[in-house]
Amino acid sequence: MKTTRVLAASLMALGLSLTAAKAADGHSPNPPRENWSFAGVFGKFDKAQLQRGFQVYREVCANCHSMTLVRFRNLAEPGGPGFTAAQVKALAAEYKVSELNDNGEQVERPARPADAWPSPFPNEKAAAAANGGKAPPDFSVLAKARTYERGFPLFVVDAMPFVGYSEQGVDYIHALLNGYEDPPAGTEVPAGANYNKYYDGHLIAMAKPLSDGQVTYAKGENGEPVVPETVDQYSRDVSAFMAWAAEPHLEARKALGFRVILFLIVLSGLLYYVKKKVWADVGGEVHGLQPELHKAG
């Protein structure tokens, strides 16, 4: 046993020292971990937050970022921002989509709830041409398409129930929107690029998109703002909205999962006792390691 342990320990030590060496070189810092209402086993979206996030997306981000996989109707579907069907219908009618008429001509008609969210540019090439050669990423699944590495041993902890963590992408987006700052002395920021603490390589094409007071949120019943109109709040809300856009059935998934796992635990318990009874007929089952293992070895 000794040889195994010594070898294992030395290999582990080698691995850990390599991890440490990696962290020391100039990497962008890990985004701070935020509290999200939709995290965890019982997580649910905060409808008001999704509505605010949608407002930020619509008024600010949608000028450059498409969200082609999201349909207007999704905004009224269960587990989402909770707009009413009538609100969504009215919202859709504010937008125009083009379609072919019976004579084969492109005509514009008001959008319907079944239509996709209209893109700000007619196609990806146009989007790239208008944005310095690279199209702004589509928002549909972006919250799932971004992540950051937490390294060993945190990545093991992140997989576990109750302490698990699967909101890296949302945290990254939130951090990125708050990560604009003056470049450190000696860092050259070329034209068309902006310095962002959390962006890989720090030079991001997108200029700081949000500023305090830029979006006016609906006031509460007492006429006071419900949440502060700050970059931090805007970015928090729009990140939550993007999390929903990327995973619209998150609430249904977590709710169903709870029931399924509960059922399976009960079923396993029942099966365990059935197995015990059945094996009682032949004098019971042997469990654990074979006794021979503990004898002379």
Partner 1 sequence: MAITESGAAKPDGSRRDFLFLATGAALAVGTGAAAWPFVASMAPDAATVAAGAPLDVDLAPIQEGQIINVFWRGKLIFVRNRSEKEIKESQDVKLTELIDPQPDSARVKEGHAKWLVVYGNCTHLGCVPIGHQGPYQGWSCPCHGSLFDAAGRVRRGPAPSNLPIPPYVFEGDTKIRIGEEGGKAVA
Partner 2 sequence: MSAHGTAYVPKSGLAKWFESRLPLVGLVHSSFVSFPVPRNLNYFWTFGAILIMMLGVQIATGIWLAMHYDPSANAAFNSVEHIMRDVNYGWLLRYMHANGASMFFVAVYIHIFRGLYYGSYKAPREVLYILGVIIYLLMMATAFLGYTLPWGQMSYWGATVITNILAAIPIVGDTIQSLLWGGYSVGSPTLNRFFSLHYLLPFMIVGVVVLHVWALHVTGQNNPTGIPIKSGKDVVAFTPYATIKDVFAAAVFMIFFAYWIFYQPNYLGHADNYVPANPGVTPKHIVPEWYFLPFYAILRAVPDKLGGVILMFGAVLILAFAPWLDTSRVRSSNYRPIYRQFFWLFVIVCIILGWLGAKPPEGGYVIASQICTAYYFAHFLLVMPLVGLFETPNRLPGSILESVTGPGKQVDSGSGMPVGAAAAPPSKG
State the residues that interact with partner 1 by CB under 8 A.
Answer: 71, 73, 77, 112-114, 263-264, 266-267, 270-271, 273-274, 277-278, 281
Residue 1 binding: pick among partner 2, partner 1, none (C-beta 5-8 Å cut-off by kind):
partner 2
Q: Which of 107, 145, 157, 218 binds partner 2 (CB under 8 A)?
A: 145
Residue in 75, 230, 246 with CA at minimum distance from that of residue 172: 246
Applying CB under 8 A, does 161 fall inside the site for partner 2?
yes
Residue 290 binding: pick among partner 1, partner 2, none (C-beta 5-8 Å cut-off by kind):
partner 2
Q: How much of the chain is in helix, strand and coil states, percent to nearest 5?
A: 45, 5, 50
Question: Token digits for 134?
Answer: 């690279």
Element (H, E) at 246: helix 231-246
Instruction: Write the DSSP string, 186-243.
Output: T----TT-EEBSSSTTSEESS-----TTSS-PPB-TTSSBSS--SHHHHHHHHHHHHH
x/- string (CB under 8 A) for partner 2, residues 76-105?
Answer: ------------------------------
Give the residue with the Cβ less far from partner 1, 151 or 269.
269
Q: Tell me whether residue 87 is exposed, middle or buried, using C-beta atoms within 10 angstroms of its C-beta: 0 to 12, 13 to 18, 19 or more.
A: middle
Q: Which of 158, 192, 219, 225 binds partner 2 (CB under 8 A)?
A: 158
Give the residue with the Cβ less far from partner 2, 237 or 247.
247
Give the residue with the Cβ less far from partner 1, 258 or 263.
263
- Residues 92 and 114: their CA atoms lie apart, in Å, by 9
Q: Which of 110, 164, 213, 228 binds partner 2 (CB under 8 A)?
A: 164
Q: Which of 33, 144, 197, 208 binds partner 2 (CB under 8 A)?
A: 144
